[in-house]
């Protein structure tokens, strides 16, 4: 594609957006001039219509098309080969296992560490500075975090000086440097550490706010009853923030299921470190296996769906209690 063709395409997109905005503006203008009777309903429909159109174009239609492509081979014929490949090939099975490991470890450790940090620094001197230090990784993109931690795990062969912090420590204690990101299965765990490092700040902030919302009278009453700190934490604090814990766990779980940047930046999915989102990209855009990539996308949606349903059920139960 030449530069002129690219400019022409950009102009077409811009003109299309301008026309769409003009149409939306005209619809809203005529709705505003509509008769007073029933105007509220027309205004509601008019303001929702652009958003619904964009959701349909950008989300609903791609989801439907992806579902159809998942059941087609490269020739366009209907087939279950994509799912057979997914559950029979060792590389694909390893990808699914890695994804499950990520979902089990990242939300659990990020939530536990974030909760412990929130409890220990609650109302302590310099609390805001301690929180800022832990929350700071949330301001870094996943790609940036991957690059930072890739330097931490860096390996240099021979007698060259080790610039990776981890290997520098190993050498300092008399050990031999290790190719961390190429050693299976520890490389997957090391990638998971990066995600935990990022998500712990989110868990800490949400849970710390929830802890501060617990009435002081409850804690004081428990203390007067002769309970120790651990008993107050287990019987008062945790039940009081259960809703926030569920929100944190489900949010981090969904983010973990969709993790792509860290794996792609640090190992590109090599050395048995690939996850569903990364393999979806690899199959669809690198191997030109659109059907396999679509099948992986469909599996990813199926894996996210129970988490969302569980979160909705918990929120409804809490609303009924209130």
Domain segments of the chain as ranges = 3-70, 83-321
CB 211 within 8 A of CB 237: yes
pLDDT value at position 321? 63
pLDDT in tens, 207-250: 998 998 888 888 888 888 888 888 888 888 888 888 889 889 99
**Residue range 172-200: average pLDDT?**
92
Residue 275 pLDDT grade (very low, low, confident, very high; cuts 50, 70, 90)? very high
pLDDT, position 308: 81
Q: Which residue has the higher pLDDT, 13 or 141?
A: 141
Q: What's the Cα-to-Cα distance from 232 to each of 47, 133, 218, 221, 242, rounded to whole Å?
A: 49, 27, 9, 10, 14
SS3 of the chain: the string is: CCHHHHHHHHHHHHHHHHHHHHHHHHHHHHHHCCCCCCHHHHHHHHHHHHHHHHHHHHHHHHHHHHHHHHCECCCCCECCHHHHHHHHCHHHHHHHHHHHHHHHHHHHHHHHHHHHHHHHHCCCCCHHHHHHHHHHHHHCCHHHHHHHHHHHCCCCCCCCCCCCHHHHHHHHCCCCCCCHHHCCCHHHHHHHHHHHHHHHHHHHHHHHHHHHCCCHHHHHHHHHCCCCHHHHHHHHHHHHCHHHHHHHHHHHHHHHHCCCHHHHHHCCCCCCCCCHHHHHHHHHHHCCCHHHHHHHHHHHHHHHHHHHHHHHHHHHHHHHHC
pLDDT digits (tens, 9 = 90+) for 70-114: 998 887 888 898 899 989 999 999 999 999 999 999 999 999 999
Report the distance separating Cα 248 and Cα 208, nearest Å: 12
Query: CATH class for domain 83-321?
Result: mainly alpha
Asked if the model's pLDDT at residue 285 lies above 90, the reply is no
- The predicted pLDDT at position 44 comes to 67
- Residue 322 tokens, joined: 């209130």
Report the pLDDT value the prediction gives residue 195, as an integer from 0 to 100.
Answer: 95
For residue 122, what pLDDT band results from cuts at 50, 70 and 90?
confident
pLDDT for residue 42: 67
Higher-pLDDT residue of 6 and 64 is: 64
Q: What mean pLDDT value characterizes the chain?
A: 85
pLDDT band at 164 (very low <50, low <70, confident <90, very high): confident
The predicted model gives 42-47 an average pLDDT of 68
Whether residue 39 is predicted with pLDDT greater than 60 in this model: the reply is no
Residue percentage of the chain with pLDDT more than 70 = 89
Percent of the chain with pLDDT over 90: 30
Identify which has the larger pLDDT, 163 or 149: 149
pLDDT at 252: 93
Range with lowest mean pLDDT among 37-41, 117-121, 163-167, 237-241? 37-41
In this prediction, residue 5 carries a pLDDT of: 67
């Amino acid at each position: 594609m030449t530069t002129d063709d690219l400019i022409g395409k950009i102009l077409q997109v811009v003109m299309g957006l301008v026309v769409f905005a003009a149409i939306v503006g005209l619809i809203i203008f005529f709705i505003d001039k509509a008769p007073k009777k029933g105007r509220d309903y027309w205004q509601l429909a008019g303001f929702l219509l652009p958003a619904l159109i964009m959701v349909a174009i950008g989300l609903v239609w791609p989801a439907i098309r992806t579902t159809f492509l998942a059941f087609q081979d490269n020739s366009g014929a209907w087939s279950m080969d994509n799912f057979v490949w997914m559950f029979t090939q060792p590389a694909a099975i390893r990808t699914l296992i890695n994804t499950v490991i990520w979902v089990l470890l990242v939300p659990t450790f990020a939530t536990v560490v974030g909760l412990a940090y929130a409890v220990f620094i609650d109302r302590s001197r310099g609390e805001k500075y301690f929180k800022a230090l832990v929350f700071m990784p949330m301001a870094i993109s996943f790609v940036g975090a991957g690059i930072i931690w890739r330097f931490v795990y860096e390996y240099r062969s021979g007698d060259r000086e080790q610039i990776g912090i981890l290997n520098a420590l190993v050498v300092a204690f008399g050990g031999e440097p290790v190719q961390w990101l190429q050693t299976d299965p520890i490389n997957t765990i090391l990638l998971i550490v990066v995600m935990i490092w990022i998500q712990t700040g989110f868990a800490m902030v949400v849970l710390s706010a929830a802890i501060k919302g617990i009435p002081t009278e409850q804690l004081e009453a428990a203390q007067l009853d002769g309970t120790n700190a651990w008993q107050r934490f287990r019987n008062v604090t945790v039940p009081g923030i259960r809703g926030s814990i569920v929100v944190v766990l489900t949010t981090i779980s969904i983010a973990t299921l969709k993790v792509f940047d860290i794996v792609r930046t640090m190992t590109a999915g090599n050395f048995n470190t690939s996850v569903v989102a990364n393999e979806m990209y690899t199959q669809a855009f690198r191997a030109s296996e659109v059907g396999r990539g679509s099948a992986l996308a469909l599996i990813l949606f199926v894996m996210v769906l129970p988490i969302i349903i569980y979160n909705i059920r918990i929120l409804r139960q809490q609303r009924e209690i209130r």
